[in-house]
Structure 1
């Protein structure tokens, strides 16, 4: 009986492998660059994926059906094998939760308008959620981090209460490298962590105070990302262990709340930057009714496999069972119909039709190369669902992978490409995180480019894309993202907005050079025996060591 982890791949894969058994692969540990100067197909792929016909590629929509058909057909035409059992699709069970948008938040005597002043949603599978005179408490950053000697919840019971907290972490506020990681956001600064920790503490609701600098984006991004239909995985208890109300507050609305409590918010927040901050009871109560319509459905991840060689020097190649993953998320925010009947379509051309088309371009190039000389490791080309709602597709794959995660050497993730002219550098997200940084350095040097540190480490991009879900399972990754560095107006004017559309005037010079660079790293990983290691002590490193990697 075949006990290979690839047993979950398609029978057609086995036939494909048999055809390649007489071939050998080139074993190289140097950067080799493929030619991506002709991007006619790439341009057409982005244009199609970001067209109005795809309606913003929201999960569980007509846009998903069109996107899945497009990607599966593309992989079939390339001759790649199904990547999950005998299918190119991995079903991702989830709930689509749509809250009534006319909700109103009352704190004390103040009444706030949804979208304009606050946002609120829930991942609990309940048709009605209510805050009834829930006591309001300010908990600073809402962080409990023993390794940093920090606990904003020390000495207080917040069970059933509504907690207001700051975005980001104290390192950003103080710019002190001895506090957390200074300007670079830690996971403790991410909204996902803040909701998770508040739920562990027993709070009923969280409202994170929005300020553009520490959040890394304007209020429009918060509004567009947290209103309308949202998606979530579902546990065995209908997600009731999660926080009931996940909210954001406009800075101005927060100032009004604290003024009603006889406090100056902007002065008070200065006291939160030091360890030992004491929570503040505002002596106000919160009222909110969340009425949800809930649809249980399945979205899908897309997976296609380029199998490694079965034999090397006349012997079975054991590394054929190992994977390198080349990835981009396919989804965006869908569309929104306003009360006046007007419609916005969030086409997400750069984020992330550009990355999805990049994976297709790499898959075509690697399939052509492997038809001559197969690679040592198998390569999985993937596009996951529901990244924009919290890495949902990636989380599901990480928990239900096509092969054990201990067999995945690395996860390369494109989340937005440089569609403008080429540049003399490549961005690196995180520093001293894993040995994959050496691969990035070598490839950049071979291209006569430099590696440039993330210019906005306070935005926490390390924790905001699909590679993070795999990192939590111990798989090291690299994020390739170019959003605002080559287009200074992108974040303010286009990110998660209707204006992120395909533009025929894009030069695509940056796409050409970055696909070559990414391809060189992918080829090197697919043709060596290396298992890139985590460099810093972390849960990631611990998880990988448990897999003996």
Structure 2
């Protein structure tokens, strides 16, 4: 106990052994939390479902029992205005004389609150990777006006395409390679629609993922302008469909793809037009983030956030009438249980001596459908984002045996990487780089929404690295279930590491900094940090 008192009284980084967080982790309680959250009764924790009601009740009651205060004013819940968008399945995409089938050749959806959107002979333009990145000296939109037009865009970025480490970040995806960026930039350029060409390697997933994510219902955050500033049509094209479109224009798709990865590429019209009628059924409802506060003693208005998204994919009835419950035990009931366990431990530690800074224990909604809960939180935080010190995000824990390393997502992104390295060293572990940097995981979880507002963060994710079978047979499938056979050695180990970083951030006066030049760094500088 003396070591704990010394630790929380000081400002240095504690080793996990000094803090003895690992020794305080109650794996029986952790196992119970995961088993309940990932049970069939919770129905896969889909937003706006009965499973959400059960999840919210479980989390709020847990935080109340710990004695943590409400994290959003006088409430543990932060309302998140969602719209459930369901595009009509029977639609076709016409490009000149070519006709493409929804779900087979293309997908199309919108985030605008418009029940009907029509593209009527919209001029088609190929804009390469659709990137405007001044820091890389790259602008695919230079010299071309795409207002009201439809752009065809390649997925990922030129660095991945060429494997040139001097171009963007080589094999490691940058945010400019993410499909979310492609749509955002197309909207900024005034385009009416964007069609991203799907290829499995650069996208990091097969066409089935695209189809499942874009032909059924999908949630979106609703702003005060009913999302009218967003892109009208968000589409994907099968590579074979793109090849046909280019051939109709007298061009070779594969040759143009090579040209698009070269500096100085110029966008070109394809001498064709696009027609599409997109009908969308829109349902507006409110989902909720869960927030619980451990107030700081000396710098209460400075906050460190520990978070894990509570949602998963819910329950789906397939075309044969069979029910599939996507329980999301690892992704991300394991992370939510980790937040609960650290919240219990830190509440006990605070009774010995309060932490100097406030700690917010959070669980966000709708991560799986586009980081929506995190986006809403980042735009409507309980305190100004300039006073949020750092954001620690758990998105899938190692439920198997201990390992000799901790994964780092990103390299040279922020000074939090040094904190990660020191915490790992204190456990006798090494830091291992992202095994799949080309997949862009750094931009695909809730910490990214806070990064866009300038808040540095760390992602703690352990999916396929400790279970090779997970990505192939469990990730986003109805087989991601809780198992009593989990050893949980990795959970105990990682909660000790995460806890030591959290304790340091909550007990010193340091402000983590962005290292590489980015819009995140600019945003933080605007806040005077």
TM-score range, shorter chain: over 0.9
Are residues 73 and 257 of structure 1, via their aligned partners in 2, closer, same or farther at CA, if it must alter by over 3 Å? Answer: same
1:240-259 correspondence to structure 2 within 5 Å: 240-259=228-247
SS in 2 for 1:548: coil
C-alpha displacement at 1:415, in angstroms?
A: 0.9
CA separation of 1:67 and 1:287: change in aligned 2, threshold 3 A = same
The one of 418, 427, 437 aligned to 2:417? 437
1:343 deviation in Å? 3.1
Match of 1:27 in 2: 10
Q: Which residue of 2 aligns with 1:474?
A: 454
Residue of structure 2 equivalent to 1:183? 171
Give 1:446's aligned residue: 426
Match of 1:228 in 2: 216
Residues 8, 503 of structure 2: 8 Å contact kept = no
Are the aligned partners of 1:429 and 1:479 in contact in 2 as well (CA < 8 Å)? yes
Q: CA deviation at 1:323?
A: 1.1
- For 2:78, the equivalent position in structure 1 comes to 90
Shift of 1:37: 5.6
TM-score by length of 1: 0.90
Pick aligned residue for 1:219 from 178, 202, 207: 207
Q: From 384, 388, 391, give the equivalent of 2:364.
A: 384
Aligned to 1:142: 130
SS in 2 for 1:199: helix
Q: CA deviation digits over 1:315-370, x for unaligned, max 9?
A: xx2x1222111111111222333344333332222221111111111111111222
For 1:418, the equivalent position in structure 2 comes to 398
Q: How far does residue 212 in structure 1 lie from its aligned partner after superposition? A: 1.9
**Deviation digits for residues 86-116 of structure 1, max 9, x if unmatched?**
1000111222212122333233344333333
* 1:333 aligned onto 2:313: yes
Write the distance in 2 (CA, Å) between the matches of 1:231 and 1:320. Answer: 34
- CA contact under 8 A between 2:464 and 2:470: conserved in structure 1? yes
Q: Residues 227 and 511 of structure 1: is their aligned pair in 2 closer, same or farther, counting only changes over 3 Å? A: farther
Q: 1:126 to 1:87 in 2, by over 3 A?
A: same
**1:461 aligned partner:** 441
C-alpha spacing 1:483/1:147, structure 2 compared with 1 (3 Å): same
The residue number in structure 2 matching 1:20 is none
3-state DSSP of counterpart to 1:489 = helix
Question: CA shift at 1:135, angstroms?
Answer: 2.5
**1:289, distance to aligned residue in structure 2 (A):** 2.0
Query: How far does residue 27 in structure 1 lie from its aligned partner after superposition?
Result: 2.0
| Paired position in structure 2 for 1:525 | 505
TM-score, structure 2 length as denominator? 0.93
Deviation at 1:256, TM superposition (A): 3.4
Specify the SS of the correspondent of 2:9.
coil
Please give the alpha-carbon distance, in whole angstroms, between the structure 1 residues aligned to 2:61 and 2:395.
22
Question: C-alpha distance in 2, partners of 1:461/1:214?
Answer: 13
CA distance 1:259–1:46, change in 2 (3 Å) = farther
- Matches of 1:133 and 1:212 in 2, distance apart? 29
List alignment gaps of at least 5 residues for structure 1. Answer: 1-23, 310-316
In 2: Cα distance, 1:547 partner to 1:78 partner: 34
* Secondary structure, counterpart of 2:468 in structure 1: coil
Q: Is the 8 A contact 2:325 2:478 kept in 1?
A: yes
Determine the structure 2 residue equivalent to 1:162.
Answer: 150
Distance 1:537 1:473 in 2: 15
CA distance in 2, matches of 1:69, 1:361: 17
Cα distance 1:25–1:501, how it changes in 2: closer, same or farther (>3 A)?
closer
